[in-house]
Chains A and B, each alone.
Chain A
Amino acid sequence: MSGLIVKDLELIRVNIKIYLAVFAIGVVYLIAKKDSAAFFTSYMIVMSVGLSAGTVSYDSYEKGMNFLMTLPVTRKQYVYEKYLLSMLITLITGAVSFLAGIMKVQLSGNGMVEDILVGTAVALFVAGLLLALVIPLRIKYEAEKSRIIMLGVIAAIFLVGIAGKKIIEISHGTIYNIAEILDSLSAGNIMLSGVVIFAVVVLISVGCSCRIINNKEF
């Protein structure tokens, strides 16, 4: 599997200037704007999802997957490597931007470390769920089609959001009760629930990706 990791890292290295430019926008925003640390960490984490998910698209350009699957690597290893590398990149980006955010708070005296911590944890959670959705789609549909499908998924999430807002307006009492229950949970319980949900979603996603790639003909 080390061959796959090195290949992906080399491909990231090819485009490093573009990625650095994208991350630099976040750094400029962090330096220039007050109370920007929480947004900065979320921005960096979401951008890192694009970076790691992009490696799947790179593999499929110019029938690249045909050749890749003839190299000494199994289909399952390919799937595991994609999740491992993506999660690692996201985690490292999250950790580095979290530290940068804390530095900003300490130096400027604006904002609270707790806010950045919660912001980073939520962004990592969302990034993980996003990766769990994007990776199987990219493996199944490859670059072009998966981009169209992702647009569809984003539109669907948007519609679900609008529908959720309507539901809150209509059934104010019930939602209020749920919010109360959430409020009564300790931070530890919320975090544990988050980790369990994250683990279940990622496991289902890995299982789906393995099935997709095993049934795939190149």
Chain B
Amino acid sequence: MLVQLDHVKKIYDDFALELNMQIPENCVTGLIGANGAGKSTAFKLMLGLIRPDYGTVNVLDRKASDMTVMEKEKIGTVFSDSGFSEYLTVQQVIHIMKNFYTDFNENLFQKQCEKLEIPLKKQIKEFSTGMKAKLKVILAISHDSKLLILDEPTAGLDVIAREEILNLLRDYMDTPGRSIVISSHISGDLEHFCDDVYMIHNGKIVLHEETDRILDEYGFIKVPEQEFAKLDKEYILRIKKENFGYSCLTDQKNYYLENYPGIVIEKGSVDEVITMMVKGESI
């Protein structure tokens, strides 16, 4: 495992985060949740920026808070709200990166900057939001990192910029042995990019599932009240009262299709599944 959070608990005055997470090699893991759900806290735990009150956080086989320079060289990080000083130019950042990372690939970095039209001689503060975000991702992928930890790398970007960033990350994953942990409050961004997703709500993981399974096997059963009463509830995760009766989220769509001929089951997006997990009622 590249990252392992074992029974981790971080307690603040008005918020507590509880996590159990594993990030294996060759895997893109998404952290989805509303603002303030605990995604950034989870990332800070992985990066050793904060320490858990309970449990252990291991990254690249070492306690996150004890990571050495060598382990840190293998991690690329993006925060949506911080980075190198914006008074620097990209050319100055190249100089700095060469001195921080032994494997900094200046050629690759410059090629990516050229491709995505990132000017080298302008101060970063003069960049658009999209350019700043692209620069952060290019920096994270240009030093042969094994693990990318990306906190909202697409926050505030238009569709084209978001797709450009996701393409950079897809190229990064072409090399075996690498993994990405990425967060977004726009789950649609991650739907076709992540291998599995963790959904965090109010500091707790409410769902951990492979993305393909969510798309293929999760569904919304739409039934009137009389039929709902007769429905086998074993594979129902959440229910919601609707005008027509009930909308029920299941993770065994095929079971209901086989056993209840004629039943209406709609396919749900990751967004819809997540909304139901948060807003729906448990049985």
Question: Distance in Å from the Cβ of A98 to the closest Cβ of chain B?
Answer: 31
Q: Using a CB–CB distance below 8 Å, which chain A residues touch chain B? A: 2-3, 5-7, 10-11, 13-15, 58, 61-64, 66-67, 69-74, 77, 217-218
Decide: B44 and A218 in contact? CB cutoff 8 A.
yes
**Chain A residues whose CB sits within 8 angstroms of the CB of B70 once the complex forms:** 72
Question: Which residues does chain B contribute within 8 Å of A217, judged by CB atoms?
Answer: 44, 49-51
B69 within 8 A of A: yes
Tell me if B100 and A73 are in contact (CB < 8 A): yes
Q: Is the CB of B88 within 8 A of A70?
A: no
Question: Is the CB of B81 closer than 8 A to any CB of chain A?
Answer: yes
Q: Is the CB of B73 within 8 A of A72?
A: yes
A71 to B68, CA, bound (A): 10
Is the beta-carbon distance between B72 and A72 smaller than 8 angstroms?
A: yes
Q: Which stretch from B29-37, B91-99, B177-185 is at the chain A interface?
A: B91-99
Chain A residues with Cβ below 8 Å from B88 are 10-11, 14
Give 6 A-B pairs besides A10-B92, A66-B79, A71-B72 with Cβ atoms closer than 8 angstroms: A2-B99, A3-B101, A70-B47, A70-B75, A73-B69, A218-B44
> Are B85 and A64 in contact (CB-based, < 8 A)?
yes
A67-B40 Cα distance, complex, nearest whole Å: 13
What are the residues of chain B within 8 A of A74 when measuring CB–CB? Answer: 68-69
User: Contact: A66 with B49, CB < 8 Å?
Assistant: yes
> Which of A6, A58, A61, A218 meets B95, CB within 8 Å?
A6
Query: Within the complex, what minimum Cβ distance (angstroms) separates A51 from chain B?
Result: 15
Q: Does B255 contact A (CB under 8 A)?
A: no
- Complex Cα distance, B283 from A19, in Å, reads 67
Given contacts A14-B88, A72-B73, contact A66 B95 (CB under 8 A): no
Residue B87 at the chain A interface, CB threshold 8 Å? yes
- Asked if B142 CB lies within 8 Å of chain A CBs, one says no
Known contacts being A14-B88, A67-B84, A74-B68, is A7 close to B96, with CB within 8 Å? yes
Q: Number of contacts between A and B (CB, 8 Å)?
A: 79
Residues of A within 8 A of B100 (CB): 2-3, 7, 71-73
User: By the criterion CB–CB under 8 Å, are B72 and A73 in contact?
Assistant: yes
Nearest CB of A to B144, in Å = 12
| Residues in B neighbouring A62, C-beta threshold 8 A | 81-82, 86
Q: Does B188 contact A (CB under 8 A)?
A: no
**Contacting pair B85 A58 (CB below 8 A):** yes
Q: Are A72 and B82 in contact (CB under 8 A)?
A: no
A77 CA to B96 CA in the complex, in Å?
Answer: 16
Contact residues in B for A13 (Cβ distance below 8 Å): 92
* Shortest Cβ distance from residue A196 to the other chain B in the assembled complex, whole angstroms: 33
Q: Are A69 and B96 in contact (CB under 8 A)?
A: no
| Sampled A-B contacts (5; CB under 8 Å) | A6-B99, A69-B48, A72-B101, A217-B44, A217-B51
Given that A6-B96, A11-B88, A14-B88 are contacting pairs, would A69 and B49 also be in contact in the complex, using a CB cutoff of 8 Å?
Answer: yes
A165 to B92, CA, bound (A): 51
B85's contact among A2, A11, A71, A73, by CB below 8 Å, is which?
A11
Q: Which residues of B contact A218 (CB under 8 A)?
A: 44, 49-50
Q: By the criterion CB–CB under 8 Å, are A67 and B72 in contact?
A: no
A64 to B88, CA, bound (A): 13
**B250 beta carbon closer than 8 Å to chain A:** no
| A-B complex: 5 closest residue pairs judged by Cβ atoms | A3-B100, A63-B82, A70-B77, A72-B72, A218-B49
Q: Is B156 at the interface (CB under 8 A from chain A)? A: no
Task: Given A3-B96, A10-B92, A61-B85, decide whether A70 and B72 contact each other with a Cβ distance below 8 A.
Answer: yes
Bound-state Cα–Cα, A67 to B150, Å: 12
Residue of B nearest to A70 (CB): B77
Residues from chain B with Cβ under 8 Å of A14 in the complex: 85, 87-88, 92
Cα distance A69–B43 in the bound complex, in angstroms:
13
Q: Are A70 and B49 in contact (CB under 8 A)?
A: yes
A174 to B99, CA, bound (A): 56
Could you tell me which residues of chain B, from 84 to 137, have a CB within 8 Å of some CB in chain A? 84-88, 92, 95-97, 99-101
A3 to B102, alpha carbons, bound, how many Å?
10
In the assembled complex, the CB of B70 is this many whole angstroms from the nearest CB of chain A, namely 8
Bound Cα distance A190, B99 (Å): 41
Asked if B245 is at the interface of the complex by the 8 Å CB criterion, the answer is no
For window 11-57 of B, CB contacts with A under 8 Å fall at 44, 47-51
Task: Report the minimum CB–CB distance from B140 to chain A (whole Å).
Answer: 10
Chain B residues positioned under 8 Å from A66 (CB to CB): 44, 49, 79, 82
CA distance A47 to B88 in the complex (A): 23
Kindly state whether residue B83 has any CB partner on chain A within 8 Å.
Answer: yes
Q: How far is the CA of A10 from the CA of B82 in the complex (A)?
A: 18
What's the least CB distance linking B77 to chain A, in Å?
Answer: 4
